[in-house]
Each structure stands twice: as C-alpha cells, then as structure tokens.
Structure 1
Amino acid sequence: MFGVDTSELIVVAVVALLFIGPQELPRVMMKIGRWVGRVRGYARHFTAGIENVIREAELEEMEKKWREENQRILAQYPADRHYPDPPAAQRAAPVMTSPPPDAEPTLPLEAPAAPDDDPTPPSARPLP
C-alpha cells in the first residue's frame, strides 16, 4: 500500500493515538475512511470515463476501416455489371434432408447385429 511497511503503520498509529487521543481516534478514523472511499470512487469514475473515451475512439477507427473496405469492395464489384457464373466445382450441391416422395425405398446401410454381437450378458440370454 504505497510502499508503507508494517512498522511505519505502527509508528503512525502510536503518534495518532498520542496526538488525537483515545476518545477521538475512532471518529477521526471513520472520517479518514470516508475520505479514502470518496477518493477511490472518484478515481473509479475517472478511470471508467477514460476507458469509455478510448473505446469510442477505437470504435470510430474500426468504423472508418470498415467504410474504406466497403468502398473498395463496391468499387471492385459494381452492382450494374454482369458477373459470370462460378464454375461447377465452386457451386454447392443442394442438401437434401429427406428423400423426395416419389423415390424408391432404400435398404439400410448397416446389417442387423449378429447373435455374437448381442450386448446382453450370456447368462441373461435365452437358451436356443
């Protein structure tokens, strides 16, 4: 805490006890605590304000870069120009989630499990 050692704090406490007195010391300590709390609050408020200003400056810089990149892209690819279709390899195939209604039924991809692949223990299996 500000480079103050324990022995220095003890010396300050003894001097405060001698000059302020034991009756007034608690009240003075409360006032000092309140003052330190206010100073910390002001410091937090000031720090938050500085961080907000920095954040806003960064956002403005990023928006400027985005606008410049957007202008570059728009200049490179004008809207009134006709562009050729991409090659077939670049076009994505449509993804089918279910077969069409007129499709023939297909066989399952996996064969049914063999009796030896049965996960039940041998003692629980019925006898053949």
Structure 2
Amino acid sequence: MFDIGASELLMIAVVAIVVIGPKDMPAALRTAGRWIAKARKMSSHFRTGLDAMIREAEMEDLEKKWKEQNAKIMALYPEGGPAGTEQTGAYPAAPAPTAAAAPAAAPAPTPAITAPAAADAPKQDG
C-alpha cells in the first residue's frame, strides 16, 4: 500500500527532530501513537458495522429465496402441502404422549423357515 523505505524513514526522523526538537519528541510520538490507535479503532468499528450490514442483507436474500422455493413446493400440492405438513410448509409437531400409554405391542412372528421340497433336495448316493 505505502512504499516507505529506510531512507524515507530516516528523512522523516531528521525533519521531526529538527522541527519538534529532541526534548519534546517522546510526547509527540506518544500523541501520534494515540491518534493511530483511535484511527484503527474507528476503522475496526466501521468494518464491523459494515460486515453486520452485509450479513443481514445476505440473510434477507436467503430468506427470500427460501420463501420462493417453499412457495414453489406448496404450489405442487394444491391440497395444502405434502402429506403430514401444514400450510406453512413446516413439519408437523410430534404427537404428545398420552398419560395412559399402551404397552408396546409384541413384534409380529417371523415366518418359519421350511425345509426344501423333496424335488429340490440334493440327491444322495446310497
């Protein structure tokens, strides 16, 4: 950004010593440091606010796209959305458990494995 070499810094130091004087140089450097710190702080604050505004604009854009996609999906289902959804496109709430919940039913019995038919059985020499 700024291209300041060693010779330029030396020239600035010599001019500062001549103009300000060696006695007041520490106070002048301290004051310059404070100004630089304030400038950096203001720059950081401005950048943070700008980043927040950009994030907010992106979120609004994403929300708008989401609503458009949701409207397209809901348009495909004229009776109010896919089975089990409400008009808003949100998933239905889970049913609340009842106070007298029935015990879990036993699983259905699995079919027994039967032996192969005689025609399918391997032939034995005997």
Smaller-chain TM-score range? 0.5 to 0.7
CA gap of 1:24–1:64, structure 2 versus 1, over 3 A, is same
**TM-score, with length taken from structure 1:** 0.60
In structure 2, what is the equivalent of residue 43 of structure 1?
43
Measure, in 1, the Cα distance between the counterparts of 2:82 and 2:12. 83
Whether contact under 8 Å (2:17, 2:25) holds in the other structure is yes
Structure 1 stretches (4+) deviating beyond 3 angstroms? 78-83
Aligned residue type for 1:19: V
Alignment of 1:74-89 (within 5 A): 74-79=74-79
CA gap of 1:65–1:81, structure 2 versus 1, over 3 A, is closer
CA gap of 1:13–1:55, structure 2 versus 1, over 3 A, is same
In structure 1, what is the equivalent of residue 64 of structure 2?
64
Measure, in 2, the Cα distance between the counterparts of 1:81 and 1:48. 41
CA gap of 1:20–1:75, structure 2 versus 1, over 3 A, is same
Structure 2 unaligned segments of length 5 or more: list them: 84-106, 111-126
Aligned residue pairs: how many? 86
In structure 2, what is the equivalent of residue 11 of structure 1?
11
- What per-residue deviation string (whole Å, max 9, x for no partner) do you get for residues 2-55 of structure 1? 221121011100111111111100000000000011001101111111111111
Aligned residue type for 1:77: Y
In structure 1, what is the equivalent of residue 31 of structure 2?
31
Whether contact under 8 Å (2:74, 2:80) holds in the other structure is no
**TM-score, with length taken from structure 2:** 0.61
